[in-house]
Copies of this chain bind each other. A is one copy, B any other.
Amino acid sequence: MDIASFTGFICGVILIVSAIVLGGDVHNFVNVPGMMIVVGGTLSATFLTFRLKDVTSSFKAAWFVFTEEKNDPNDSLAIMIKLCEISRRQGLAKLESVKTSEKFLKKACMLIADGSNEEIIRNTLRTEIDSMKLRHFIVQDVFRKMGLYAPAFGMLGTLIGLVQMLSKLQDPNLIGPSMAVALLTTFYGSFLSTMIFLPIAGKLKAITILQVINLEIMFEGAVSILDNNNPIIVYDKLSSFIPERNRRPLDKIIKGQE
């Protein structure tokens, strides 16, 4: 569970809701047709914009925002140094039997163990990273677009409300409440966009950046194994991806593997 994200979200919602509750009648803020225009309109424009597959995989990915990520680049670093030692001591073919849940690493090991050409290995792994980036970009884009559509449908709803109100402007006492109802869709749209869609898009981007760093460490590590570099050089090379103060020292990595 990613406590910070979850707490952030809950606190924000509580703040807005309490501001509404303290101001009096909550039912002034509930307008079912308005909610349908904003939520339904946003969803319908999103399904029109993206392929069905992309939308569903985005909603799945959004779930990850509230799941604690455990992509510590130090772990990837430690694994690559271990693989480097294995390949030096037991030969490249030994890499075939490596067990890992990370499919990118598995593929890299298979390619190396198969004795493929270095250029093919580089191109294949680079394509994997680029394809992953592209897929993640689309997933983020779904939420970014929803963050754009929600306020737009909020404004459409407000325009509908205003036109309806202005068309039958007889009882001046009704102007206020009608106006309030019209503004509600703008409120819904802004709330969904600022509090949910845009932050989720941002968090997905942050997770992607972290995953790309992990894949880059594995990529550079695989290339180092092919070049038969010794573990100290590999550590120097790969640890550059990790900020100085978070970097796990080499002796600790080696100790952790014994």
- Within the complex, the shortest CB–CB distance from A100 to chain B, in Å, comes to 13
- In angstroms, Cα B28 to Cα A121, docked, is 65
* B45 and A195 contacting across the interface, CB-CB below 8 Å: yes
Q: Which of the residues B9, B152, B183 comes within 8 Å of A194, measured between beta carbons?
A: B152
Interface residues of A in 209-242 (CB under 8 A from B): 209-210, 213, 220, 229, 233, 236-237, 240-242
Which A residues contact B (CB, under 8 angstroms)?
Answer: 2-5, 7-9, 11-12, 15-16, 19-20, 22-25, 28-29, 33, 36-37, 40-41, 43-52, 54-55, 65, 69, 103, 107, 110-111, 116, 120, 123-125, 127-128, 131-132, 134-135, 138, 145, 148-149, 152-153, 155-157, 159-169, 173, 175-177, 179-180, 183-184, 186-187, 190-191, 193-195, 198-200, 202-203, 206, 209-210, 213, 220, 229, 233, 236-237, 240-244
The 4 closest A-B pairs by CB, nearest first: A169-B176, A8-B47, A12-B44, A49-B202
